[in-house]
Structure 1
């Protein structure tokens, strides 16, 4: 898959010679977060990979593997100069990876486990240059954020589920959604819980050859 044309900088002007910036994710939240720091991807190309955790795979190795596989799969499909950003987020209770909530029952089970407890949200980043941009280099980062829920009654959990913003979310909740009313404590990167740690993302992009961010 080829990408043609010059890339656009944060001010909308063409940045001649800079490789295209590609987001290997369909998440609208990650796209919005990138826009917040002035990095609008030239392309959004979700990676089609198997996201099933390996048996006994721990949260940190798993999330690192997912981000790397997403970025690698998309980078391998590109022939023109490009830098690909892959990301993945998991909610972990100790050594357990909580699932993405695709139905109400799964979301309820996650919230029941998280109620009154502290858990860890891990977001991994991986940037991979395409073969058409040999000057670029691979870089990775994992960001851990501690989140604590207040104790929720069954009625409060059901009311939270009625809002619907748990759908497709790791651990069955969205920090930027109605669950915020029950979150007592966040230590670390709030944007990482939403889907993309902005400081670390900016650092990885600044570490690439060329002017990616001021």
Structure 2
């Protein structure tokens, strides 16, 4: 009889993903990848030429999970499932990353205003030799935003560490007219899909 999985490694520095895992009662330890190391990031998040958003988010997430698993092995840590996730915002097929400055944040919000865009979150769980993964897609409809509202929002700290330049769990919730998909997926970790992957990896959640 297999020993049930009781704890995982989370390869993410996102506080939102930590909160979401705690919400469903999943115990975890952090295996955080570097993104500003002197020798560069452990996993590059640059988009390859002509790479589709779906392929991009799946590739980056899998690379993060694989690097975290290698780190687990290098450090001789107790073997556990490794979970990684990545979220990207897509408008008309164009990937909107994290804005580098206020001007870029304003341009993103102007582009999203009055439009429906897609949020793709890919989740990977590695356990032993097995790989479990899924991409969750949500359609998000933004209201039309005034220039004044956009500039006030971009003057806050909220847009600058988030794909697409906004956070649904923050003040940007005021902009969203409709969602078709997963609220937690837009936050960065679709809980239904994540729960299914963890169950496949041998974890009993409920």
TM-score (norm 2): 0.88
Q: Higher RCO, 1 or 2 (CA under 8 Å, sep at least 6)?
A: 2
The correspondence for 1:198, drawn from 164, 179, 191, is 191
Number of equivalent positions: 193
Matched, 1:139 2:137: no
Q: Distance in 2 between matches of 1:87 and 1:198?
A: 12
Q: How far off its partner does 1:163 sit?
A: 2.7
Aligned to 1:167, what secondary structure does the other structure show? Answer: helix
In structure 2, runs of 5+ residues without a counterpart are: 35-41
Are the equivalent residues in 1 in contact too, given 2:7–2:26 (CA < 8 A)? no
Q: Distance in 2 between matches of 1:52 and 1:102?
A: 14
Are the equivalent residues in 1 in contact too, given 2:7–2:27 (CA < 8 A)? no
Task: Name 1:7's counterpart in structure 2.
Answer: none
Q: Distance in 2 between matches of 1:194 and 1:69?
A: 21
Task: Name 1:11's counterpart in structure 2.
Answer: none
Aligned to 1:139, what secondary structure does the other structure show? Answer: strand
1:140-162 residue CA offsets vs partner (Å, 9 max, x unmatched) = 10000000111111101011112
RMSD: 1.6
TM-score (norm 1): 0.85
In structure 1, runs of 5+ residues without a counterpart are: 1-15
Task: Name 2:39's counterpart in structure 1.
Answer: none
Task: Name 1:177's counterpart in structure 2.
Answer: 170
Are the equivalent residues in 2 in contact too, given 1:22–1:43 (CA < 8 A)? yes
Q: How far off its partner does 1:19 sit?
A: 6.6
Q: How far off its partner does 1:95 sit?
A: 1.3
Higher helix share: 2
Are the equivalent residues in 1 in contact too, given 2:158–2:167 (CA < 8 A)? yes
Task: Name 1:165's counterpart in structure 2.
Answer: 158
Structure 1 outlier segments of 4+, above 2 Å: 16-20, 42-48
Are the equivalent residues in 1 in contact too, given 2:81–2:201 (CA < 8 A)? no
